[in-house]
């Protein structure tokens, strides 16, 4: 019922948007209409228009128009932090689901097309993260200045639980940008900043968005060397590293892979096993790195067993995850030094 209401509100917003920008009118009325649309498009439940859909192609075709609508609204309401968050997060979702994920699933013979898509994905991530960083700069004086100067602890010190969505999506966008081009040496030295964002969010609300923080931390801990994750300040201290050390010490998670497995368990618990994301993340990272094919197959088989209809709020993601899990299984020989013939597989020496 709530979702039906959200879709009706967004439908009204789209109609108002078209009428205002096609026909124009009195500036006072136009401004009031723009404010109304902004409130609807940035309001609670607005993203459900996409996340609950069962047709990924329909969403993919519709999102470019929605994204440009968001940007036009931001141009009129550049100080609306909720609107900036909605705009940035939608760009990041679009980049992840419809550009980067699809690029990574292209066959080898389409390498140049894959490269083109990854470059576009990188730009979209940067664009989305930029809107959210602008929002945080509005919420906290000198946030951008402190971030650019490397004063990450100072930038984050006054944040509270209401900032968790901003921290999560900013981290997702910045990490996504790096993941599309890990050889961009202008990005690598700054990776510790989104890492700090995500651990700050974890400190404030571990259960955010059905375990989304833990899903991201599976990938961070299994993919990034610690030298890139933490940078000490001039006084030799790192709040993030200190928090992380204490956090994992109490959870008996000493190594990066131990930490990834811990976050996997937490994500599964928080989502009640209804999200395939942690299964795919652990399979594609830790299981591959440890060359444990049995675990890889077990995790992905479990991911395929999860019915997207059991988690309607994330139906679209569930469908995408199911395709990704099947693709990974179909391409297992790309990840394991095993001979996958008929029946049992054998090691390749």
pLDDT for 237-246, tens place per residue? 677 888 898 9
Report residue 47's pLDDT band, with 50, 70 and 90 as the boundaries: low
Q: Give per-residue pLDDT as tens, 247-282.
A: 999 899 989 999 999 999 999 999 999 999 999 999
What percentage of the chain exceeds 90 in pLDDT? 65
Higher per-residue confidence, 317 vs 234: 317
3-state DSSP of the chain = CHHHHHHHHHHHHHHHHHHHHHHCCCHHHHHHHHHHHHHHHHCCCCCHHHHCCCCHHHHHHHHHHHHHHHHHHHHHCCCCHHHHHHHHHHHHHHHHHHHHHHHHCCCHHHHHHHHHHHHHHHHHHHHHHHHHHHHHHHHCCCHHHHHHCCCHHHHHCCCCHHHHHHHHHHHHHHHHHHHHCCCCCCCHHHCHHHHHHHHHHHHHCCCHHHHHHHHHHHHHHHHCCHHHHCCCCCCCCCHHHHHHHHHHHCCCCCCHHHHHHHHHHHHHHHCCCCCCHHHHHHHHHHHHHCCCHHHHHHHHHHHHHCCHHHCHHHHHHHHHHHHHHHHHHHCHHHCCCEECCCCCCEECC
Q: What is the pLDDT of residue 73?
A: 87
Question: Of all residues in the chain, what percent carry a pLDDT higher than 70?
Answer: 82
Looking at per-residue pLDDT, the higher value among 294 and 41 belongs to 294
Average pLDDT over residues 38-66: 77
The whole-chain average pLDDT of the chain stands at 86
Q: What is the pLDDT of residue 29?
A: 42
Tokens of 163: 């900032």
pLDDT reading at 10 higher than 90 = no
pLDDT at residue 5 in the model = 42
Q: Of 60, 92, 73, 82, whose CA–CA distance to 14 is shortest?
A: 73
Whole-number pLDDT of residue 69: 85
Q: Look up the pTM and report it.
A: 0.88
pLDDT in tens, 84-100: 999 999 999 999 999 99
Band (pLDDT 50/70/90 cuts) for residue 2 is: very low
């Amino acid at each position: 019922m709530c979702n039906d209401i959200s879709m009706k509100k967004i439908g009204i917003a789209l109609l108002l948007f078209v009428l205002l920008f096609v026909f124009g009118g009195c500036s006072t009325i136009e401004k009031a209409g723009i404010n109304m649309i902004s409130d609807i498009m940035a309001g609670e439940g607005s993203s459900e228009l996409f996340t609950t859909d069962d047709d990924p192609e329909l969403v993919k075709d519709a999102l470019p128009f929605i994204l440009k609508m968001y940007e036009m609204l931001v141009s009129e309401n550049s100080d609306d932090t909720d609107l900036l968050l909605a705009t940035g997060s939608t760009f990041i979702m679009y980049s992840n689901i419809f550009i980067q994920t699809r690029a990574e699933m292209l066959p080898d013979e389409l390498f140049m097309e894959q490269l083109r898509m990854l470059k576009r994905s990188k730009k979209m991530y940067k664009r989305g993260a930029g809107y959210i960083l602008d929002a945080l700069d509005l919420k906290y004086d000198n946030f951008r200045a402190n971030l650019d100067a490397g004063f990450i602890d100072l930038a984050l010190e006054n944040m509270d639980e209401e900032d968790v969505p901003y921290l999560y999506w900013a981290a997702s966008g910045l990490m996504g940008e790096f993941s599309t081009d890990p050889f961009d040496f202008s990005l690598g030295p700054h990776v510790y900043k989104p890492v700090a964002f995500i651990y700050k969010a974890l400190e404030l609300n571990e259960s955010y968005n059905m375990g989304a923080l833990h899903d991201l931390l599976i990938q961070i801990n299994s993919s990034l060397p610690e030298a890139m994750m933490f940078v000490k300040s001039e006084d030799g201290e790192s709040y993030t590293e200190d928090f992380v050390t204490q956090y994992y010490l109490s959870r008996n998670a000493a190594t990066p892979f131990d930490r990834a497995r811990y976050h996997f368990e937490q994500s599964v618990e928080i989502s009640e096993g209804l999200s395939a994301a942690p299964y795919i993340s652990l399979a594609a990272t830790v299981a591959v790195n440890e060359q444990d094919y049995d675990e890889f197959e077990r995790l992905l088989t479990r991911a395929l067993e999860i019915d997207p209809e059991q988690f309607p709020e994330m139906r679209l993601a569930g469908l995408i995850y199911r395709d990704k899990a099947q693709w990974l299984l179909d391409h297992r020989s790309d990840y394991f030094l095993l001979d996958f013939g008929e029946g049992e597989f054998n090691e390749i020496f």
